[in-house]
């Protein structure tokens, strides 16, 4: 699985988890990783990259965040033509099946529960590639 051409947006209010995701994604071969600390900041990042015509391959986003949470961020990007097709993986401590279903029904492609392993990340990205949700 060659992920060297992937550009990934990691959104989490905790730098400690952003660091862990960055490290794991780097280990999987991803070379370009951009970070944001909440949904609002992530939207600004998306807009900036859209101007540069350099779209993201996948978005990994936490759910519980200040300013704009991951669910609000998901709804916002699914309403915008420029970003609505970017695969979105929610990464959260949330374990309520009803909430997970709510995220999937609202447009999240996958859901990862914290704590997670690098192997889980590999499997989720592999599934998106296999099902042609990302190339």
Q: For binding to another protein (CB under 8 A), which residues are involved?
A: 13-17, 19-20, 63-66, 92-96, 113-116
CB of 72 to another protein, least distance (A): 14
d(CA 23, CA 110): 20
CB of 99 to another protein, least distance (A): 8
For residues 56 and 63, which CB has a smaller minimum distance to another protein in the complex?
63
For residues 47 and 67, which CB has a smaller minimum distance to another protein in the complex?
67
For residues 17 and 61, which CB has a smaller minimum distance to another protein in the complex?
17
d(CA 93, CA 55): 28
Distances (CA, A) of 76 to 25, 43, 84, 95, 124: 25, 8, 9, 23, 23
Distances (CA, A) of 1 to 36, 47, 81, 87: 26, 29, 29, 17
CB of 16 to another protein, least distance (A): 5
CB of 23 to another protein, least distance (A): 11
For residues 51 and 98, which CB has a smaller minimum distance to another protein in the complex?
98
CB of 15 to another protein, least distance (A): 6
Contact between 11 and 38 (Cβ < 8 Å) = yes
What DSSP designation does 22 have? Answer: H
d(CA 4, CA 79): 29
For residues 19 and 54, which CB has a smaller minimum distance to another protein in the complex?
19
């Amino acid at each position: 699985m060659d992920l060297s051409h992937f550009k990934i947006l990691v959104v989490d209010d905790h730098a400690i988890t952003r660091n862990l995701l960055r490290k794991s994604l780097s280990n999987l071969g991803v070379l370009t990783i951009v970070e944001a600390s909440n949904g609002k900041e992530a939207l600004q990042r998306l807009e900036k990259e859209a101007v540069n015509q350099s779209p993201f391959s996948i978005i990994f986003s936490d759910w519980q965040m200040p300013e704009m949470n991951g669910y609000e961020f998901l709804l916002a990007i699914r309403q915008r033509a420029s970003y609505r097709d970017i695969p979105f993986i929610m990464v959260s401590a949330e374990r309520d099946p009803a909430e997970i279903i709510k995220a999937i029904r609202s447009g999240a492609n996958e859901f990862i529960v914290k704590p997670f392993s690098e192997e889980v990340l590999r499997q989720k990205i592999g599934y998106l590639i296999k099902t042609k949700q990302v190339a």
